[in-house]
Structure 1
Amino acid sequence: MNIIDAIWPIPGPIAAALVAGLVSFVVTVLAKDQKTSEFRQAWIDGLRADVADFVGLARAMLAVVNAKTTRKEDASSYVIERHDDFTKIYSLITRIRLRLNPDEHGEMLELLNTFFTETPAISPAEMSDAVKGVVSCSQKILKSEWKRVKRGEPAFLWLKRVSLVFILAAVIGGFALAVQTSKGLTSENKPPAPPASVATPKIQPSAPSSSG
C-alpha cells in the first residue's frame, strides 16, 4: 500500500460523489444567503422610506398646528380639513409597526404608540419629541440591520468557519504528504551501501616436526 492509499482510502468514484455533493451544498447555502440578504435589504429600504414619509408629514403638520396655536387660531378646524394627511400618517405608522419585531424593536414600537393617543392627551411639544425619537431609533435599527447584511446570515458564517477549518486541514495534510513523499524519494535515490568485507583469517605456518 502506497502513501496516498493510506491517507486517502476512499475510491475515486465515491470521492467524486462526495465532492459533488459538497459543492452542491455550498452553492445552495450561498444562494439562500444571497436571497435572504436581498429580502433584508428590501426591508431596510422599505422601512427607511416609510419612516422618511412619516417624519416629513408629521413635522409639517406639527409646524402648522404650532403656528395656529401661537396665533391663538382654531387648530381643530385645520385638523379636520387635513383629514387625508392624518389618515396617511396613521397608515405609515401601521406599516412601520408591521415591519418591526416586538422582541427587537420595543423602543421604536413604544414611540409609535404615542401617536395613537388621543390628541388632547398629548401636547404638540411632546409629539415633536416623539417624532425626534422615532428618527433616532430608526437610525439605530437601520444601522444594525445593515451590519447584519454586511456580515452575512448565520448559515453563511457557519459555512465560512467550516471552510476555513477544511482549508487549514488540507494545507497541513498536503505539507505532511509532501514531506513524507520527499523522504520516500530520497530513500529510493540513495545509492546502495557497498557489501561488508569479510575478513579472511590468516593461516599461521606450522612448525616443522622433529623426527627422532
Structure 2
Amino acid sequence: MTDFLTKYQIIFLGEGYMGANSQIIAIGAVTAALIAGFFSFLNLVISKEQKISEFRQDWINCLRSEIAQYVASIRFIAGANEIWNNDKTPTASTWQDHWKAMQIPYDNAARAFTSICLRLNPDELNSERVDVNKQFLVKLNEVRNLVRKDQYSEATVAADELNDLARPILKEEWNRVKSGERNYRYSRNGAAILLLLALIAVSILLAKQFGG
C-alpha cells in the first residue's frame, strides 16, 4: 500500500513534491529538536536558579533575624547599664546579679555582630550596593564602640539608625528574589529570542519552498 501511494504521488504530483515533502519533514524535525533542546536547557537553568533564590531568601531571613537580635541586645544592654549606673548604692551582690543578667545579651550581641559582618561584603561589585553595605557596616561598628565606651544613650540612637540602613539592603535582596537570578533572566530571554528566530527561519524556508 505504501509503495502504491508513493508511486501515485510521483506520477500525479511529480518528484518535486516528494523532494519538497522530504525537506519539510527534515526542517520540522530539526526545528523540533532545537526547540526541545532550548527548553531542556532552560529547565535546567530554572531549576538551578530557583535553588539559588531559595538560598537567597534564607540569607535575607537570617540577616533580618540577626539584625533584630543585635539591636534588641544593644537596647537591653544600654537600658540595664543605665539603670546600674544610676544606682547610688551598688553592692557586690547586685553587681554579680547585674553581670549575670548581662552575659546572655552580650553573647547574643557578639554572635549577631560577627554573623552580620560575615554576611555583608564591603567590596560589593555593584557600585550602589557597596556604598549601602559600607554605611551599614560603619554604623554597626559605631554601635559596638559606643557600648564599649559606656555611651548607652548614643548607642541606642545609633542602633535605631542601623535599622534604617538595613532596610535598603533587605529590599534590594528581596527584589532580586522576585525578579529572578541574572542567569535565569538571561537564559529565559535568550530562549525566547532563539525560539522566535527558529520560527521565523522555518517560515522563510516554507515560503521559499512553496512560493518558488
1:36 lines up with 2:56 in the alignment: no
Q: Tell me how far apart the structure 2 counterparts of residues 135 and 4 of structure 1 sit (CA, whole Å).
A: 68
Query: What residue is the counterpart of 1:155 in the other structure?
Result: 183
Conservation of the 8 A alpha-carbon contact between 2:45 and 2:184: yes
Query: What residue is the counterpart of 2:99 in the other structure?
Result: 80
How far off is 1:160 after superposition? Answer: 2.2
Aligned equivalent of 1:112, options 116, 140, 145: 140
Conservation of the 8 A alpha-carbon contact between 2:27 and 2:202: no
**Identity among equivalent pairs (%):** 29
Q: What are the residue-to-residue correspondences of 1:158-169 with 2, within 5 Å?
A: 158-169=186-197
Query: What residue is the counterpart of 2:14 in the other structure?
Result: none
How far off is 1:169 after superposition? Answer: 3.1
Runs (4+) of structure 1 exceeding 6 A deviation are 177-182
Query: What residue is the counterpart of 2:149 in the other structure?
Result: 121
Considering only aligned residues, what root-mean-square deviation do their CA atoms show, in Å?
3.4
1:91 lines up with 2:107 in the alignment: no
How far off is 1:159 after superposition? Answer: 1.4
Query: What residue is the counterpart of 1:46 in the other structure?
Result: 62
- What stretches of structure 2 of length at least 5 have no aligned partner? 1-18, 124-129
Q: Tell me how far apart the structure 2 counterparts of residues 139 and 36 of structure 1 sit (CA, whole Å).
A: 22
Letter in 2 for 1:23: F
- What stretches of structure 1 of length at least 5 have no aligned partner? 185-212
1:144 lines up with 2:172 in the alignment: yes
SS in 2 for 1:2: helix
TM-score for both structures, normalised by structure 1: 0.68
Distance 1:15 1:121, change over 3 A: same
Q: Tell me how far apart the structure 1 counterparts of residues 108 and 167 of structure 2 sit (CA, whole Å).
A: 22
Distance 1:73 1:182, change over 3 A: farther
Query: What residue is the counterpart of 2:122 in the other structure?
Result: 102
Aligned equivalent of 1:22, options 31, 38, 43: 38
Question: Which protein is bigger by CA-based radius of gyration?
Answer: 1
Give the aligned length. Answer: 181
Distance 1:131 1:4, change over 3 A: farther
TM-score for both structures, normalised by structure 2: 0.68
Letter in 2 for 1:156: Y
